[in-house]
Structure 1
Amino acid sequence: MNLKSFTRKVSSTRDHRLLAEAIFDQLENLFSPHAIAIFEDPLTNPRCSVSFSRGELYPIQKYPEIFWDWACQFDTSESIIPLAINTCNWNHTQDLGGDSYIMMLDNTPIKRTYLLIQSVQARTAHNIYEESYDAMQLAAARWQCIRAEKNASQEMRHRDIREAQYVDEISQRERFIENMKLVQQVALEISNPDSLKDLYYKAVEALRERLGFDRTTLMLLDMKKRSFSGTYGTDESGVTIDEFHTQYDLHQLSEEYIAALSSLESNLVIIEDAPIYTAGKVVGQGWNAMLILRDGNEPFGWFALDNFIHRKPITAYQKQMLDSFGSLFSQIYIRKRQEQNVRMLHSSMVELSRCTTVSDVCKSAVTFAIKNLGIDRMAVFLTDENCSYMQGTWGTDIQGNVVDESYFFGETQNFSLINLARAVPSEVAFEESVPIYHDCNIVGFGWAAMTVLTSNSSGPIAFIAVDNLLTRAPLTSQLREVIRMFSSSLAEVLQRTQAQEAIRELNENLELEVQNRTKELEEANRQLEVLSKLDPLTRLGNRRMLEHVMQKYCALDCEEAMSFGLILIDIDHFGLFNNHYGHLEGDIALMRIGNILEHHTKDEDEVFCRIGGEEFVLLMIGSNQEEVRLRAECIRQCIEDEGIKHQHNPEGELLTVSVGYSCYKTKGKDFNFDHLYQLSDKALYQAKSSGRNCVKRYELKDPQKDQIVA
């Protein structure tokens, strides 16, 4: 096969096997070798398996191990390498039968591949390089190209598989999300029922009409009585019916259901090929499911479901929907039960709190319970802390009318239910299938319950007795909880009624004490407010006091212009005084000057304020210019007459002050303290420039011209 034909055949080959056949044909035509083989690097292929071969090949496993370390150093570009140049001290001609050659077809580290030409005839060996170089380079390139194409194809296939998995997972997730959305929507629709009974009905209807289940019944569990009772269910025609009259013993359930109630592993139990019941009678066969409802870890009921109508198997998506619906319904039920109990408790407290006597409280309690709690008959008996007697108050006759039973008085020793109630105070004790009494006479049979009302300190104070003489309705755990909560409220009101006068007196004393404390606090706050506005050294006002005075004047709502005057005083050379006499003498001098300034305020609205270390200010209102001048001069003279020694005063031997003042008229709302202060400050500066110990006034004759006058 000439090079051109070989090239055309190699270029069109898409498979390693066909390419190997072409290579083998070409090499046989050229060199007539004893054997030819293509295999992966034994260093990465310990089994030394041969991919393709022709002829009687010497076993690859028998090659020296170090030979492959030598062979792997060559690259594809080096074409065919004679084994004669190996550096392993291996006499290959003896083992292989003659001169042999090796070539690296693919130098990819994880897929390194060799071409072995074993025992070439001596007459053709000298031409092996010239005749095979181009052909083998082309073959190696094509080999690597096919390997790359296979890798790409395999990667594409893996990508398609992953994409298919993702699409399937997304589809499942979308279906799951749609189901969860439906469950959430259904839960939202039933989340605001008028009552628990309304919630039961809506839930049974929703499972059938919205979620697509054949039949369902909501059962409420009473673990204390080891029984369960119906609420609403679905008949054989798929119509929701009232099943509140039904009650069953727990042992009537199958073992799987009983075990599931006490296990926390799953809330959904499904039994295939099980009997299907209606009102306790077998009506068919199919799957039967229990969706357990829990409050925390404690079961309070379940939804019983079956496929009686359509006989379709339950799907995984329906199971997911049931799990989610059960969890959401439990939350709604618990919230509604708490809400209803709180509302009932609140209503009873409001009703009972209106009463002012013990008799009124007991009558109101019996009336409220008969009307609102679903109780047939009820009576309240007063007792002592030892429960030695029962004193009647108000109760119910055999027709269910509320009647006065204050005439009744009896012992408690011979009543087993009373002893049971005393053993579990604040809980509801009950007996099933017992005689029902009225005025010590048996009037029927059913359940009777009793609970002891206890005070916070002195023990029992009363009994509540209830029964089901009129309707024969079962005593459910929910009704017992309602009675317990109502009893707690009644006990609280009875205590409050008995101690009403003491509480009222306590409240009055407390109110008086609060008023006294409030006055003390207000006085303390007032004193703190005053202290916060005083300079602690001179007892004059400080900057806060000055701000307070300014705010008060600015708040004056007067249409007429008022006269405002500002006197600004600065002690002359006070820094020299402190340096010579010390800060203690400086503080004494400030206190003496502060005392003088305080005596020069005329009324409560005038307050001298210390606004700097030796700077004082007085804001005057309603004084004319002459009065302000006289006040300023009097202050200066009094301080000089005080005779405070100041030997380092360049102007004399006494401590003196420089005074600047200004006056102008304006409305209170237009009063600008900063402007008035600037005028007085300019006058004070002029007084200091004029030798100190003098009074200067700043007069504004023209808005464009300022003038200082003595």
Structure 2
Amino acid sequence: MKPFLLEQISITQQAFLGSQDAKSLIAKTSQFLSLILHPKNIFFCIESEQLQCLAQHEQGQPIRHLELSPTQLDTHIQNEQLWSLAGQKEKLSRYLPITYLAINDINNIKQDWYCIKLQMTSKPGILIFLQSPQNEMMQHLQEAPLFAALMMQFFHLLQQYRLNQTHKSQLLLRDKQEALYLQEIEQQKLFSSKVLKIQSITQDFIASPNLTSLYKTAIEMLRDMLGFDRACLILADANQHMMHPTFGTDTEGKTTDESDLVYDMEVLEPLMQHTLLHTQKRLEVVENVPLYNERKVVGIGWNAMLILRNGDHLLGWIAIDNLLSQRPLLEYEKEVLILYSNILSTAIAQKSEQSNLKLLHDSAILLSHQETELEICRVAVEIAREKLQLDRVAIFLSYDDGKTMCGTFGTSINGKLTDETHFRGPLPKNSLLELAMATPHHLAFEGAVPLYHDNKIVGHGWNAAILLRNQQRIVGFLVLDNLINKRSLTSHVQHLLTLFASNLAEIISRKRAEESLKKLNNELESIVEERTEQLAMVNLTLEETNKQLEQLSLVDPLTEISNRRHFDQTYKIEWAKACRHSQNLSAIMFDIDYFKSYNDHYGHPQGDQCLTQVAHIIQKHFRRADELVARYGGEEFIVLLSNSSPEQVKARIQAIIDDLYTSHIEHVKSPLQRVTLSAGIASVTIHKRMQQATLIKWADEALYQAKLAGRNGLVSHQQASINSL
């Protein structure tokens, strides 16, 4: 979520807690929506016997608190489409606490109105109508859990204040009604308090160094900060129909490591299994059921399944019960749990992707540093066993495109690394290896089969193999089983293993090429006098090839300008140079305006052509050797300049924006009917106390401000902010 939006949500949450009545609460909410979305009009309405308008806030005008029906309000405002939708509010979900809806007219043509509906069972719904909000920010808010939490906080507080007004006129309420009223107020306060705690917990999720730490943090925060009882985070593998616990809670409320356990999903209750696999629900609660610890019944109470999903992909769930406190699960706590699920799911998905990339990157570097093929295979077996937590792993190489196999390193039945270089022979007739050869780039798998060692059956379990192939030639095989620890092979590990095997095959092939080259050089040295000229030509050819490869690795294949890797390398060099000499360095971030709409309308091939045109327009303005233009990612470009004054930089960037504008590349989905650029400029004299990432961050922030300012323009990062650092 963008820092500015996070800050505004936090400020508004605190402001809510200081509100005294419904009018001040609506005013603060309207102020927030106006600041973030810039709508022309905002209407706050509430469902009753007929729709009632509570307030209207027109852009540039003070808010009006109306308490009028649509018919009465129509004398003030002509808005037939708005009230037509209000009369058809059954189109909005009755089951989701918050619903976003873009309003269409009777011909199903999208209008410039959006509706946000807030509701809960037995309470009148709140409808917020927005005229012409910023579409991009509106779409971003629909995917932001903290914005949803803020809107639900507004909903509960508004209900509370309106309830207060009703209770003031009913002084003779019975004691029971008063107690329920006070309890509900307390629950709203608790809800608001826990929403603030979840915001703090989100930062802890982001700071977790790895997935294991994240899983443990998620369980402990659920107990310690949000006040729930026992909890256990369980990862799900829907393809394998298996579930893998991570961390749980014992009967004394202490955290337990349960990562060695694995279960079939069939052990779940039918209701829980159905909810998990066949619905999109986030929370399922069952009351008065046996509660277990280590498969033994230890009490009776409620049991909840808080489901974690990344889009349609099932990540797992958190099992929660009330064994320790025996208190009921309140309605507001269910809302807290659903918000927690959304935030944790996002954190797990992001951390998992980071972890995968780091594992593959680190392993590729480690393997690349090995001197021989055998050393590469030895290290690869160790990585597969230690990092991927596999049992027995072995690697066999082939030097004749799969006709014969040569052993390298494997694993004994005791889990020890073994030297198997003594094995050499023709490829055995084996169904697993045949399947691996028939399905390259996929893991061949056989479950519940005999497992062998030295041609003797030593157990039963699953057996798997993957073909190591590079440039259509078979390099060898990677084979594995679960003889020792009997772990299941999850879909996640299978995917990682496939990528790991691809890297391994490429590294082995490269090492073979290097060794072949060394052999060739040794042979050439024996006939130096006769073959000097030929050797020189070979070396020159190799050097040119390496240069071409290096050049290709630094060029974006689509736009034919520098890529992100080239920029990162150059940026480090230029930063060090500017730091040594206290020179000025400038970074300019570009982003094509409304490019997603362009792709959606014209198609990706035309989108690629548009990217190339824009890249060439930017490139032609920077021809000097010390000026770098690069594609930063997607529709973003970046320029790095040294020893240029802020005024010079600004003038040159404005020239690029004007050049593209006059090129008139058609874009019917843009308000300007043409392709335009927004730019963010950061220009500063570099000092040793500054961090390298600072300049790029400032340029990105300036680009964001340029977007907010209406696009097709530039914004320079404020010099005052730079000097303050």
TM class by smaller structure:
0.3 to 0.5
Q: Provide the TM-score with structure 2 as the length reference.
A: 0.45
Using the size of structure 1 for normalisation, the TM-score is 0.46
Find the structure with the greater CA-based Rg: 1
